[in-house]
Chains A and B, each alone.
Chain A
Amino acid sequence: MAQKAIREYDGKALFSKQWENYFSGFHYGFKSVLVTSGAELLAKAEEHGFEWLKQEPLVAKPDMLFGKRGKNDLVLFKDKKPGDVSLEVAAKWIDEKTSHTTTLLSGQHGTLTHFIVEPFTPHSQEQEYYISATCVGEDDVLYMSAEGGMEVEEGWDEKVNEVVIPIDMTDIEMEHAVKANVPADIPAADKEKFTSFAIAFFKFYRDMNFAYLEINPIVMLDNNEMAILDLVARLDDTAGFLMKDVWGDIEYPTAFGMEDQSPEEKAIAEADSKSGASLKLTILNPMGRVWTMVAGGGASVVYADTIADFAEANGGSIADLANYGEYSGGPTTGETKFYADTIIDLMTRHKDPHGRDKIMIIGGAIANFTDVAKTFTGIIQSFEENAEKIKEHNTKIYVRRGGPNYEKGLKDIKEAADRLGLYIEVYGPETHVTDIVRMALEK
């Protein structure tokens, strides 16, 4: 996936690092810390440069990609009254939040682990603005509003001005378009400031290869002081090779509530990163009945689609589908064996809760250049090592594949399965790609 969300802290750090290049004339303090516990926060306060943690009232909130933290009551800004949160109170609050699981209004569920802590910024509602940019269709769009804060999404059409900026628009045209579209309800005194900030904001968004960048609210204080109160950002990670030095070692956290990858998924991801071929694995239900080993990205989708269709039509459910993934791009025999070993291992850990046979779908479309016999050699080696386990779970294996050397591949895998006493049905390009799913699930 090309677009990856980053933490609010990392987004602000990037602003700070580039501030003078884009926003000279404005000031930004970048008083933010990212911590995972109260103790870490207390330790941070002892470091040089972070004295403000002890001197100023603080705001603390989770920094874990999800939004609507205010509505979820996850922004600490008052102890007794707004703006009185001390270091100790913030540390205690963080420890309390990390001690149990949290369920968001969206239903996302998990344990909070990362918090951003910043000074409390006293300001008025009038000083709050909204600004964001992203790509819509083929064009960039800059959104600006005189009203910042949580409520901007309600009444979006009336409150927010859009500037469509085509990819080939010159800077002069862009600046002109932004000026012409600055919300009319921005006070005259702030209008020029806001305009030049918005232009710089767009250039920053563009040059840093953001896919999405939102500040809500941005607060314009006296003396050209800017306060970025809340920030959401996604980077286009395909630009990583261009932006290595600018982005630094930026982290792409997993979405809140998403289970961490299993060791098997991690192992496949690691093998993928070292290989010229593509190896992907997502476990959808470890107890699932139908396990897939599908070659090719598009084919893996149609197999998943078809398994869902036929499982539901034949008294099963989507829970029958155990995994999603693919191996493609000419993996070596060793890589294919490793992938097959992993799938077979996962498949044979649990008996089907309804006592049914297990189904292993070794599917694929007609390959463009992958040697089918070569990749099947890896699967056959895995069969040989795992034959007893496969039989214990009464696994029925269905194979369908075409492409270079497929006749030999199909013949080899059939012979090996027969020799090992495994149940197998083998089909080539004369059979429709997903028809083995029907055969397997209609039985």
Chain B
Amino acid sequence: MEKLYTRDTQAIFWNNNKTAIQRMLDYDYTIKRDTPSVAAIVAPTSGNKFEKFFWGPDEIMVPLFKSTADAKKEHPNADVLLNFASFRTAYDVTMEAVELGGFSSIMVTAEGIPERLARKMNNAARKAGVTVIGPATVGAIAPGAFKIANIGGTIENIVNSKLHRAGSCGLVTRSGGLFNELSNIIAINADGIAEGVAIGGDRFVGSVFIDNMLRMEKNPDVKYMVLLGEVGGTEEYKVIDAIKDGRITKPVIAWCIGTIAKHFSSGVQFGHAGASANADAETAAAKNKAMAEAGIHVPESFNDLPATINKVYEELRANGTISEIPEPDMNVVPKVRRPKQFICTISDDRGDEATYAGFPISSVATPDTGKGIGDVISLLWFKKQYPEWATQFIETVIKTVADHGPAVSGAHNAKVTARAGKSVVEALVTGLLTIGPRFGGAIDGAAEHFKYADDNNLTPAEFLAHMKKAGIPIPGIGHRIKSLKNPDLRVEGLKKFAKEYFPATPLLDYALTVEQLTTSKKENLILNVDGTIGILMVDMWRALGYTENEIDEFISSGTLNSFFIVGRSIGFIGHILDEKRLAMPMYRHPMDDILYDVQVAEKI
């Protein structure tokens, strides 16, 4: 890896840190990235599926996942994990990601991870070839390509500090707070940075100066490096060794802060946890001296650092190593943005012609398009183009459930309301309002319970026992008059269609074994039409490649009921129009059909 990040790098952001993510997306928009740098967010406790962010003046949705594994599965190309978990969980989050694989770098922001855990984490990542930035860091940036969270600060500062495009300097610091300052110094006194990493302030960090500088040595954009170290530790000596043995050949400018420590014998902790000199060699003064002796450009003091940077930069310009960097075009993030109140992901009426999931209405409406109502449902309900067998199944279902005579509760309600002189829509909704757990609900229920039994490998007998224990009659089983000998022809039709056209029908096959058991107890306990529809819908979705989780969501969100609602509306409207045509009078229920049992109310 010669570059830490490119313009195509995408990250999974662990923790829904909205401000930091928005800063990343603002940066992306400013530098005209094609894709957002955050592909997915892991938010284990959130019930939401996405979070909205601004993308320039517009808004985009970034998906939320419950776990890193789920996010990685959906976004395999996102190879950077930004671990913003707290010091209590940061270790587990990193270890899980290392085990999952597929991450080239993991940035850990938490400060104060137990040292032993930090060492284990860094070791595991190193062995897996994963670059860890941090812990206790503000992150890293590849200007013009990818920026982590808050590093670089506001967009104004980013542009002022020339962090919007690659310069010539490779920057490594321990302090995150001074990282911005150094970027600014380098922008003022040279031409900005090509790659920058704040390695983190804890005692044990994953990648140290040398790891990052050896990579920068290979990065052709980096022409020289600036290292800002700190009192404590011996990491700077590894850089000295690399210069001595020729692994680093590019010019290096360096300074260790914390020279103040020499004035105070003990007891005052200047700077980070990692910043405490345990030996003379670890003092800032000793390290600055050793680095100067190794040929590193070391200023007289921190205050003189800008002049040293400018001097080295001008030398490299003079000898032709560094040439003028063209300033790229940038987008400007609007100052005032308003979040959208509503989101629509299924249709769009803004263009020439309104579309259903991207398809102009005319491309699906007329017979010559070959598209039917099943295709329209697949576009508007599922945002997918279902194959013909599936759209035809949907249509079969709608046709099958369109009506079941005037006596069922919904039709009856619709008729009574129509006779009260109400309009078609008023009468229709009174009918629709009866649809629920008792009327039409068997479709949902059958799908849910049979799928549960199948998912958990229950034998038919176990399934029956399970339902009996729960005190629920099995939805989708039983008919008033039909039996195996006198089968429901609607059911036979659906089964025949499925057997012929579905790639496979595992749940139906399972349901039929259940039916064998129930009918052996009582012959009208057959798989009825509601049950068949619910079960075959599950088989359809399975065959279309939906995950079990997605199918469970269809069931719990009432998608199956929706087919019944659409289909039965046809019948209800028929009954309502029938009433209107017949001009039937107001309905009053006959009193002799009501059992009156009214007691005088007691005083309490």
Interface of A with B (CB < 8 Å)? 1-3, 135, 137-138, 166-168, 206, 209, 211, 236, 238-239, 241-242, 255, 258, 282, 284, 295-302, 304-310, 318, 321, 324, 328, 365-369, 402-404, 429-430, 432-435, 437-438
- Tell me if B273 and A1 are in contact (CB < 8 A): yes
- Tell me if A309 and B303 are in contact (CB < 8 A): yes
* B301 / chain A contacts, CB cutoff of 8 Å: 305-306, 309
Give a binary string over B104-126; 1 marks a CB under 8 Å from any A CB, 0 the rest.
Answer: 00000000111111011011100
Q: How far is the CB of A20 from chain B (nearest CB, A)?
A: 23
Q: A299-B177, A321-B260 are in contact. List 18 more A-B contacts (CB 8 A).
A: A138-B122, A239-B115, A239-B116, A241-B88, A255-B266, A298-B175, A301-B230, A301-B271, A304-B270, A305-B301, A305-B302, A306-B301, A308-B259, A365-B181, A368-B150, A404-B157, A430-B188, A432-B306
- 7 nearest interchain CB pairs? A298-B175, A296-B177, A239-B114, A365-B181, A298-B178, A366-B180, A304-B260
- Tell me if A298 and B257 are in contact (CB < 8 A): yes
- Tell me if B257 and A302 are in contact (CB < 8 A): yes
- Tell me if A168 and B127 are in contact (CB < 8 A): yes
Give a binary string over B150-191; 1 marks a CB under 8 Å from any A CB, 0 the rest.
Answer: 111110010011000000000001111110110011001000
Q: A168-B127, A284-B264, A432-B303 are in contact. Are A367 and B120 (CB under 8 A)?
A: no
Q: How far is the CB of B32 from chain A (nearest CB, A)?
A: 23
> Looking at the complex, which one of B180, B259, B260, B268 makes contact with A367 (CB distance below 8 Å)?
B180
Q: How far is the CB of B206 from chain A (nearest CB, A)?
A: 11
- Tell me if A167 and B150 are in contact (CB < 8 A): no
Q: How far is the CB of B199 from chain A (nearest CB, A)?
A: 12
22 A-B contacts (beta carbon < 8 Å): A2-B203, A138-B119, A138-B204, A167-B119, A168-B123, A238-B112, A255-B267, A284-B264, A298-B175, A298-B230, A305-B258, A305-B302, A306-B301, A306-B302, A306-B303, A367-B153, A368-B138, A369-B19, A403-B153, A403-B180, A430-B188, A432-B306
| Alpha-carbon distance A29/B276, docked complex (angstroms) | 37
- Tell me if B259 and A284 are in contact (CB < 8 A): no
- Tell me if A365 and B120 are in contact (CB < 8 A): no
| Alpha-carbon distance A417/B271, docked complex (angstroms) | 30
Whether B444 sits at the interface, judged by CB under 8 Å, is: no
- Residue on A nearest B180 in the bound complex, by CB: A366
Whether B557 sits at the interface, judged by CB under 8 Å, is: no
- Residue on A nearest B119 in the bound complex, by CB: A167
* A433 / chain B contacts, CB cutoff of 8 Å: 178, 181, 185
> Looking at the complex, which one of A135, A297, A301, A435 makes contact with B115 (CB distance below 8 Å)?
A135
- Residue on B nearest A310 in the bound complex, by CB: B303
Q: A297-B271, A301-B230 are in contact. Are A318 and B263 (CB under 8 A)?
A: yes
- Tell me if A301 and B260 are in contact (CB < 8 A): yes
* A241 / chain B contacts, CB cutoff of 8 Å: 87-88
- Residue on B nearest A365 in the bound complex, by CB: B181
* A309 / chain B contacts, CB cutoff of 8 Å: 259, 301, 303
- Residue on B nearest A328 in the bound complex, by CB: B177
* A242 / chain B contacts, CB cutoff of 8 Å: 114
- Tell me if A297 and B272 are in contact (CB < 8 A): yes
Q: How far is the CB of B185 from chain A (nearest CB, A)?
A: 7
- Residue on A nearest B155 in the bound complex, by CB: A404
- Tell me if A435 and B176 are in contact (CB < 8 A): no
* A239 / chain B contacts, CB cutoff of 8 Å: 114-117
- Tell me if A324 and B270 are in contact (CB < 8 A): yes
- Tell me if A258 and B267 are in contact (CB < 8 A): yes
Residue of B87, B234, B270 with most chain A CB atoms under a 10 A cut-off? B270
| Alpha-carbon distance A350/B24, docked complex (angstroms) | 48
- Tell me if B202 and A2 are in contact (CB < 8 A): yes
Give the contact-size bracket for chain B: 35 or more
| Alpha-carbon distance A397/B298, docked complex (angstroms) | 31
- Tell me if A369 and B153 are in contact (CB < 8 A): yes
| Alpha-carbon distance A346/B180, docked complex (angstroms) | 31
- Tell me if A366 and B259 are in contact (CB < 8 A): no
| Alpha-carbon distance A138/B20, docked complex (angstroms) | 32
Q: How far is the CB of B147 from chain A (nearest CB, A)?
A: 11
- Tell me if B115 and A305 are in contact (CB < 8 A): no
Interface residues of A: mostly helix, strand, loop or mixed?
mixed
- Tell me if A429 and B160 are in contact (CB < 8 A): yes
* B87 / chain A contacts, CB cutoff of 8 Å: 238, 241
- Tell me if B177 and A365 are in contact (CB < 8 A): yes
Residue of A242, A295, A321, A429 with most chain B CB atoms under a 10 A cut-off? A429
Whether B56 sits at the interface, judged by CB under 8 Å, is: no
| Alpha-carbon distance A430/B276, docked complex (angstroms) | 32
* A434 / chain B contacts, CB cutoff of 8 Å: 302-303
Q: A2-B273, A238-B113, A308-B263 are in contact. Are A297 and B268 (CB under 8 A)?
A: no
Whether B460 sits at the interface, judged by CB under 8 Å, is: no
* B88 / chain A contacts, CB cutoff of 8 Å: 241
- Tell me if B180 and A365 are in contact (CB < 8 A): yes
Residue of A236, A368, A369, A403 with most chain B CB atoms under a 10 A cut-off? A368
Whether B269 sits at the interface, judged by CB under 8 Å, is: yes
- Tell me if A305 and B273 are in contact (CB < 8 A): no
- Residue on A nearest B262 in the bound complex, by CB: A308
- Tell me if A1 and B269 are in contact (CB < 8 A): yes
Q: How far is the CB of A168 from chain B (nearest CB, A)?
A: 5
Q: How far is the CB of B580 from chain A (nearest CB, A)?
A: 66
- Tell me if B114 and A209 are in contact (CB < 8 A): yes
- Tell me if B175 and A282 are in contact (CB < 8 A): no
* B203 / chain A contacts, CB cutoff of 8 Å: 2
| Alpha-carbon distance A282/B271, docked complex (angstroms) | 12
| Alpha-carbon distance A1/B258, docked complex (angstroms) | 15
Give a binary string over B436-466; 1 marks a CB under 8 Å from any A CB, 0 the rest.
Answer: 0000000000000000000000000000000
Within 8 A of A (CB), among B270-314: 270-273, 275-276, 284, 301-303, 306
- Tell me if B115 and A211 are in contact (CB < 8 A): yes
Q: A1-B269, A2-B273, A255-B266 are in contact. Are A368 and B176 (CB under 8 A)?
A: yes
Q: A297-B271, A298-B175, A306-B301 are in contact. Are A429 and B258 (CB under 8 A)?
A: no
* A300 / chain B contacts, CB cutoff of 8 Å: 270-271
Residue of A282, A304, A318 with most chain B CB atoms under a 10 A cut-off? A304
- Residue on B nearest A430 in the bound complex, by CB: B188
- Tell me if A167 and B178 are in contact (CB < 8 A): no
- Tell me if A369 and B177 are in contact (CB < 8 A): no
* B202 / chain A contacts, CB cutoff of 8 Å: 2
Q: How far is the CB of A152 from chain B (nearest CB, A)?
A: 19
Q: How far is the CB of A428 from chain B (nearest CB, A)?
A: 10
- Tell me if A138 and B123 are in contact (CB < 8 A): yes
- Residue on B nearest A309 in the bound complex, by CB: B301
| Alpha-carbon distance A434/B257, docked complex (angstroms) | 12
| Alpha-carbon distance A167/B260, docked complex (angstroms) | 34
| Alpha-carbon distance A324/B20, docked complex (angstroms) | 30
Q: How far is the CB of A218 from chain B (nearest CB, A)?
A: 23
Q: How far is the CB of B193 from chain A (nearest CB, A)?
A: 14
| Alpha-carbon distance A434/B259, docked complex (angstroms) | 14
Whether B567 sits at the interface, judged by CB under 8 Å, is: no
Q: How far is the CB of B320 from chain A (nearest CB, A)?
A: 29
* A299 / chain B contacts, CB cutoff of 8 Å: 175, 177-178, 181
- Tell me if A404 and B153 are in contact (CB < 8 A): yes
* B127 / chain A contacts, CB cutoff of 8 Å: 168
Residue of A255, A284, A433 with most chain B CB atoms under a 10 A cut-off? A433
Q: How far is the CB of B232 from chain A (nearest CB, A)?
A: 11
* A402 / chain B contacts, CB cutoff of 8 Å: 153, 157, 180-181, 184
* B153 / chain A contacts, CB cutoff of 8 Å: 366-369, 402-404
| Alpha-carbon distance A137/B123, docked complex (angstroms) | 12
Whether B201 sits at the interface, judged by CB under 8 Å, is: yes
* B260 / chain A contacts, CB cutoff of 8 Å: 301, 304-305, 307-308, 321, 324
- Residue on A nearest B120 in the bound complex, by CB: A167
Q: How far is the CB of A304 from chain B (nearest CB, A)?
A: 4
- Residue on A nearest B208 in the bound complex, by CB: A138
Give a binary string over B75-102; 1 marks a CB under 8 Å from any A CB, 0 the rest.
Answer: 0000000000001100000000000000
Q: How far is the CB of A269 from chain B (nearest CB, A)?
A: 13
Within 8 A of A (CB), among B301-344: 301-303, 306
| Alpha-carbon distance A40/B532, docked complex (angstroms) | 84
> Looking at the complex, which one of B20, B119, B178, B263 makes contact with A296 (CB distance below 8 Å)?
B178
